[in-house]
Amino acid sequence: MLAACLSDKEPSSAPPNFQVVAGDGQVTITWSEDPSLTYWVFSAAADSITPDNYKNFPQARVLWPVHSPLVYTGLTNGTTYAFTMNATNKGSGAGPAAPSIAVKPRPNGTSWTPGTAAGSADLRAVTYAGGYLAVGLGGAFYTSADGKTWTAGTSGTGAALYDINYNGATLTAVGESGVVLTSSDAKTWTAGSVGSSVKLNSVTFAGAQFVAVGDGGAIFTSTDAKAWTARTSGTTQNLAKVIYDGTAFRVAGAAGTLLSSTDAVTWTVQTSNTTADLRDLAFNGTTYLVVGAAGTMLTSSDGTAWTVATAVTQQDLNTVVAGSQFVVAGAAGTLLYGAPGGWTVTSAGSTATVYDLVRAGAAIVAVGAAGSNASSI
């Protein structure tokens, strides 16, 4: 009986190392967790709260049981939220609460921190697979847990790699001379080819198939990233990027080239209303944005009719990601965030050209020339 009573005694101290880090429409809450305790997190739109008064404020919420780290979503950017937490012990009363912490979620991509250089080769692409993975010229391959500190890996090739994709099970990298690399663990890579010496610039996965695009209008599809079938694209222009927007594959390329396909087999050449080289495209659920050379931007609400937007920079724009706002990056470290008609022009933290961005949860990571990289968390 005495042992049972002691086991039900409420915790004598607040959860240690309680921290709250603001993200894009969310926060990440961490603490040093004791697996024998049950943790409760309280929040509200306020400057300060306690477990006793949090209900007196707007947007009051309590979550339990929770574990560290806790990603707390559904928050409004620009609104101040206060958080606190306590713990119980096998049904006991609550122990002391951690000091209230107030933070203000904000769209990520607004402020950037340069990371440690990942070698000296240009990094041309980055993806996220539980950690960050970047590839580049000369077969460069780097991994990072936080997007700031990078460790060199071995890709098994000296060929330039221009894109990397993760479909939840397989990593696929593509590059010069038709090279295709696959891996299930980011350690051991299997070298393959699309069966052509064409330079491959981008690869994606959707609908149980891989799609790779490259120079000269090249498009290839595969169900396993090993055996590839060439498709007719309807253009001989170099193709820079392929994405899947949830309903269709979309491709951007040189001389204003835009293609679309619902099955990756039959492709439609679209009218882009520009002859500028197009480098990347993204869709935020309501608006498509294409970016390219000399600050070119195209917008569309339906992915069919395209409007050339007023340029806000003359720098080449290489990459774009979508979220609560678009984030665009390119030559000379140029970085833009916002939406068509309302852009802020800033820098990724250096003058190095940014070649690719990846959004992972509350973070965006950029990679670029000479191993440069930066993160916005």
Fold of the domain built from segment(s) 13-103: Immunoglobulin-like (2.60.40)
Specify the pLDDT at position 241.
Answer: 98
Average pLDDT over residues 162-189: 97
Specify the pLDDT at position 5.
Answer: 43
Q: Is 29 in contact with 83 (CB distance < 8 Å)?
A: yes
Measured CA distances, 244 to 97, 123, 164, 282 (Å): 46, 23, 15, 9
pLDDT bin (cut points 50, 70, 90) of residue 197 is: very high
Cβ-count burial of 240 within 10 angstroms (0-12 exposed, 13-18 middle, 19+ buried)?
buried
For 256-309, write each residue's pLDDT tens digit: 999 999 999 999 999 999 999 999 999 999 999 999 999 999 999 999 999 999
Average pLDDT over residues 355-359: 96
Specify the pLDDT at position 324.
Answer: 84
The sign of the CA dihedral 76, 81, 86, 91 is negative
pLDDT bin (cut points 50, 70, 90) of residue 2 is: very low
Chain mean position to CA 111: 15
Specify the pLDDT at position 279.
Answer: 98
Residues 6+ apart with CB under 8 A from 9: 89, 92
HSE-CB for 24 with a 13 A CA cutoff: 20
Q: Is 279 in contact with 318 (CB distance < 8 Å)?
A: yes
With 50 as the cut, is the pLDDT of residue 183 above it?
yes
For 238-258, write each residue's pLDDT tens digit: 999 999 999 999 999 999 999
Query: CA-CA distance, 357 to 350, in Å (whole number)?
Result: 15
Specify the pLDDT at position 360.
Answer: 85
On whether the pTM is more than 0.75, the answer is yes
Residues 6+ apart with CB under 8 A from 257: 235, 237, 239, 251, 269, 272, 278
Measured CA distances, 105 to 40, 238, 317 (Å): 21, 40, 27
Q: Is 348 in contact with 338 (CB distance < 8 Å)?
A: no
Nearest CA-CA partner of 250 in 232, 270, 226, 235: 270
Strand order in the sheet with 70-72: 19-22, 27-30, 70-72
Query: CA-CA distance, 218 to 212, in Å (whole number)?
Result: 8
With 90 as the cut, is the pLDDT of residue 106 above it?
no
Structure tokens at 172: 């696929």
Specify the pLDDT at position 1.
Answer: 33
Query: CA-CA distance, 321 to 18, in Å (whole number)?
Result: 31
Dihedral of CA atoms 251, 254, 258, 264 in degrees, nearest 10, equals -40
Nearest CA-CA partner of 210 in 218, 219, 201: 219
CB atoms within 10 A of CB 207: 13
Specify the pLDDT at position 289.
Answer: 98
pLDDT bin (cut points 50, 70, 90) of residue 6 is: very low
Specify the pLDDT at position 185.
Answer: 95
In the chain, where are the structural domains located? 13-103, 113-376
CATH of domain 113-376: 2.130.10.10
Q: Is 81 in contact with 43 (CB distance < 8 Å)?
A: yes
Average pLDDT over residues 87-116: 93
Q: What percent of the chain has pLDDT over 70?
A: 98
Average pLDDT over residues 119-136: 96
Structure tokens at 215: 């120079």
Q: Is 105 in contact with 79 (CB distance < 8 Å)?
A: yes
Average pLDDT over residues 115-132: 96
Query: CA-CA distance, 118 to 148, in Å (whole number)?
Result: 9
pLDDT bin (cut points 50, 70, 90) of residue 4 is: very low
Query: CA-CA distance, 319 to 327, in Å (whole number)?
Result: 8
Dihedral of CA atoms 113, 315, 205, 171 in degrees, nearest 10, equals -40
Nearest CA-CA partner of 34 in 61, 59, 53, 16: 16
